[in-house]
Structure 1
C-alpha cells in the first residue's frame, strides 16, 4: 500500500483521480491511516488484480441510474458491498447564478443545504463497523466526492486548510481530455462549461465556512441530521492511528 504523499494518486484501473486520503494530521494529534479510505472518478474495472491491494470492503457510488448505465464500473464483481447513494447535482447546477464568481463553491453549499440527509447516510455507511477500507466515487471524483470526503475529514478533526488542499489535488489530475471523454449522461460538469472543471481550494473553503457558520461544523451538521456522535467517534478511530 502507498506510504508516501508523493504517491497519493494510485495507478489502479483506468482512473485519473483515484487517491488515498492517508497521512493527514488530525486536530487531536492522530493522523489518517493509509489504505483506509479512497476517493476516485468512475472507470471500468475488468480485472480484480487491479483492486486486490486496496482490499476494499465497501464502495459508495454517488452517481444516479443514468450515469451508472452509461459507465458501469464492474466493481460489484470484486467488492463485497457496493452501495448506490445518488447525489444528483443536476437541479442544483441549473440553479446556480450565471454571474457567480465561484459557481463550484455555490454548488457545494447547495449540496449542504439540499442534500443533508443523503450526505449523512453516506457518512453513516462509512462509519459502520467493518466498512473500511472503502472507496467513494462519482463521475469525476471532484464535486460530489469532494463534498463527502470533506465532510468525513472535517468531522474527524482534519483542519480546514488540509481538507481544502486535498480537494484541490484533483486539479492536478483531471485534464480537458478527461472532461471531453465523459459520457453525455454523466452528472459531472458539462464538458463545455470550463468554469465547473476546476478544483480551487477557495471553493471548498467556501463550503467549509458555511458548514461552520450555519451548522456549527461537520460533526454538528451530521449529528443534526441524525448520525450519532458514537458513529463519528468510531469513524475517527477506524480512519486514524
Structure 2
C-alpha cells in the first residue's frame, strides 16, 4: 500500500520527514502522481541544488511568526510562491480532554472544526492552475501538515486506510534525533511530551470518521467552506493519472 523508500522519502535539504504522496489509489483506477505534492517538516535550505529536483512552484508554510523566526527555511529564495498560512493548533490544546487516550486525534478534529476557512484556503491554494508541484510543511510535518494532506487525499478519492497509513509513516522519521536537533521555539513539539509526538494511524482515521459523520466527507467539508467543486476536480486531475 505504501513504501517509505526510495521514492516516498526524499532526502532534500536538512529535512527528516520530506515525503512524496505519489502512487496512492484514488478511485476509478486512478493513482496519485509522483512529484506533484510533497509534505515535510521545516528545514534550512542553504542552496537550491537538491531542491531543484522537486521543481517546486508553491510552498505552503503552516507555521506562525515565532516558529518562522526560530527556523527560517530560505525557501522563498528558490520557490516562486511561498505562502504563509498559519493554523495555530496550540490554542486548541487547552480545550481538549487531557486524559484522552488519543489527544492528537481530538486535536485534529478540533482543527477541522475551528479552522475551516483557513484549511479551505490552503486547499484552494493548491488547486490554483500552475500551483503544482507544491510542498506543504509545518514544523514537524505531522499534525498541521497531516491534516492538510489528509483533506487533500481524501477529497480526491484516496481511501481512508491509505490516508491514515500515509500519516503514520511519520513515525519512521521523527526520531529522538529529530527532536534533539530542532529548537523548542520551532514548534516541532516538546520532546518530553510523548502524547504529542506520536503519529498513530488511528488518530487520522478518527478525523476521517468525524469528517464523514459531520459533513459527509472531506470533499463536502471543503465545498461547505468555500472551495468550488471545480477546484477540487482540477486538483484531482493535477494530482492523479
Aligned to 2:110: 110
Aligned to 1:204: 204
**Normalising by structure 1, what TM-score?**
0.96
Alignment of 1:1-241 (within 5 A): 6-7=5-6, 8-241=8-241
Equivalent residues of 2:146, 2:167 under 8 A apart: yes
Q: Please state how far the C-alpha of 1:188 moved relative to its aligned partner.
A: 3.1
Deviations 1:45-81 (Å, cap 9, x if unpaired)? 0111011110000000000000000000000000000
Equivalent residues of 1:87, 1:144 under 8 A apart: yes
Q: Please state how far the C-alpha of 1:92 moved relative to its aligned partner.
A: 1.1
CA separation of 1:20 and 1:217: change in aligned 2, threshold 3 A = same
Q: Secondary structure at the match of 1:99?
A: coil
Deviations 1:159-190 (Å, cap 9, x if unpaired)? 00000000000000001121233322233332
Aligned length: 238
Question: After the TM superposition, which of the residue ranges 188-197 and 104-113 deviates more from structure 2?
Answer: 188-197
Q: Secondary structure at the match of 2:14?
A: coil
Q: Secondary structure at the match of 1:60?
A: strand
Runs of 5+ consecutive residues of structure 1 not aligned to the other structure: none
CA distance in 2 between counterparts of 1:104 and 1:138 reads 16
CA distance in 2 between counterparts of 1:81 and 1:188 reads 23
CA distance in 2 between counterparts of 1:33 and 1:181 reads 32
Question: After the TM superposition, which of the residue ranges 169-178 and 147-156 deviates more from structure 2?
Answer: 169-178
The root-mean-square deviation of aligned C-alpha atoms, in Å, is: 1.0
Q: Please state how far the C-alpha of 1:10 moved relative to its aligned partner.
A: 0.5
CA distance in 2 between counterparts of 1:87 and 1:190 reads 18
Equivalent residues of 1:59, 1:81 under 8 A apart: yes
Question: After the TM superposition, which of the residue ranges 130-139 and 4-13 deviates more from structure 2?
Answer: 4-13
Q: Please state how far the C-alpha of 1:93 moved relative to its aligned partner.
A: 1.9
Q: Please state how far the C-alpha of 1:128 moved relative to its aligned partner.
A: 0.1
Equivalent residues of 1:150, 1:163 under 8 A apart: yes
Runs of 4+ residues over 3 Å off in structure 1? none
